Each structure stands twice: as structure tokens, then as C-alpha cells.
Amino acid sequence: MSDQPSIWGIDADIIAYSVGFASEDDPVDEAILSTRSLTQAVMDGCSCRYAQLFLTGKDNYRHEYATDYKGNRADVAKPRHLDAIKEFMVSTLDAIVSDGQEADDELGIHAVQEGWGIASLDKDLDGVPGWHYVWKGKREGLYHVSEVEADRFFYTQMLTGDSTDNIQGLFNRTGKKAMPAIKAPLGELDSPADMYKYVLSVYMDAVAERNAPSDQADVERWLLEQGRCLWIRREAGQIWEPPCPSE
């Protein structure tokens, strides 16, 4: 395990929305002060020498692969101070706005390519190897995710989906009670190729049980869409591909 990094990428989207909703009834100046305060608290918590904030901008490449990606968020109300908070982050805290991909992708790329830490509350980032910091909740604290653990997390998401981003998994077909047993074999696998084969086999069994008119090629196309939406980039421009050929 590597030493804890001195440079950290911070998920500024999380901070902006957290402060925004908490300060909904406050003057904008107080929202700005809270933004500065929380950002500093996050930096103190991970003991970083330098931090770079990342915000998600426009044009997410994932929409090329799934038109319904995050489609369930269209009607969600945004905090009234959100734009002011983001402007402050950019103008004063030097936040970088990521266009064409999510802030999560920026965090993943810098973590893998440059060894930065990742500070976020978003559990999806456990799909990126390296050091992580969570500043509140059950997962609060510093922890390290190995490459194998990150891969297992990603392929577990391939099974469960991600309702937050409107990504359907096997969850809706099996129910919550069956999922622990279905996910368990991934904990014994070390290579992404074997993990993908297992996930594919689980979906093929589910199709067979339902007598659905889908062949393996149909399932593989669906998993390709799932994977490309779920994968957090580990290098610039990366588009996820299955790690093994069809058999």
C-alpha cells in the first residue's frame, strides 16, 4: 500500500449541492462562507498539501451510449444558491469545470495517473484504486482501495446497477434478498476478465429463467452500455470495453 498522497482531488459537486441545500433559507453570503468552511474542513481531514476542486460541466460523453443516463434527475430541484456557489468555487477556489465528462472522471484520472487522493462522499468512486477520504457518514475517514477491490466494486455495480444514475441492473429482476448470494462469487475473483465472465453468466441465467427472447449478443450489448455508463475513467479519453472476447 502506498503512502497517503499530499495532493488530493475534491469532488466539488458534492460540496456545492450539500452547502446549497443546507443554506436554502440563508443569504447567499452565508452560503459562500459555508462553502469555504467545508472545503477547508475536507482539506484538513485528508491532511493534503494541495487540493484541486473539480465540478461537472456540460456534455457528458455517457449520453452517447445511454440516452436515459441520469434521466431520473431531470425534475429534481436545484438549490437556489447553486450557481453562486459554483461561481465562487471557480473564481476564488480555482475549481476546474470538467466539460465532456464528469468531475468523477477527472478525479479517477488524476488518482490513477498521478497518485492523487480522492475526497468525495460518492461511493461510486470506490471503483477507482487509490486513497480515498469521506468526510461524513458511515464510511467517514481515510481508506485505500486496491486495484482488485476497485474492479470488484465496478463489476458488483454491473450486477446491482445504480438507481441514482438511472442505470438498471439485475436488482429489479431478483429483489434485494437474492443479491448478496449473487454478488458473493466476485469476492473470489482477481482478474477483470473472470469478473466480466461471471457477470455475463449471471445475466444469461436470468434471461433463461425468464424465457426472454435474448441471445448472448443481446446481453453483451446491454452490458456494454451498462459498463460504459458505470465506468469511471482511469486515463484520459478512456471508453470502457469488456476485458475478454465473447465465447
Residue 43 belongs to domain with CATH number: 3.40.50.1010
Distance CA 103, CA 107 (A): 6
- Average pLDDT estimate for 178-190: 89
Identify the pLDDT of residue 185: 94
pLDDT greater than 90 at residue 239: yes
Identify the pLDDT of residue 170: 59
Residue 19 domain flag: yes
Residue 240 domain flag: no
pLDDT greater than 80 at residue 208: no
Same structural domain for residues 98 and 192?
no
Same structural domain for residues 159 and 141?
no
**Predicted confidence (pLDDT) per residue in 12-28, tens digit:** 999 999 999 999 999 99
pTM, entire model: 0.88
pLDDT greater than 90 at residue 10: yes
pLDDT greater than 80 at residue 80: yes
Same structural domain for residues 134 and 54?
yes
Instruction: Tell which phi-psi region holds residue 115, choosing left (phi > 0), alpha (psi between -120 and 50) or beta.
Output: left
Same structural domain for residues 136 and 206?
no
Same structural domain for residues 122 and 29?
yes
Burial 16-53 (b: 16+ CB within 10 A, else e): bbbbbeebeeeeeeebbebbeebbeebbebbebeebbb
Same structural domain for residues 18 and 130?
yes
Same structural domain for residues 204 and 129?
no
Residue 120 domain flag: yes
Of the candidates 142, 139, 113, which has an alpha carbon nearest to the alpha carbon of residue 128? 113
Residue 18 domain flag: yes
Beta carbons of 60 and 6 less than 8 angstroms apart: no
Residue 247 domain flag: no
Q: pLDDT-derived band of residue 164, with 50, 70 and 90 as boundaries? A: low
Q: How many domains does the chain have?
A: 2
Same structural domain for residues 157 and 88?
no
pLDDT greater than 70 at residue 209: no
- C-alpha distances out from residue 161 to 16, 134, 155, 166, 171, Å: 25, 22, 10, 8, 7
Residue 189's domain comprises 148-230
- Average pLDDT estimate for 56-66: 88
Of the candidates 165, 9, 15, 10, which has an alpha carbon nearest to the alpha carbon of residue 82? 15
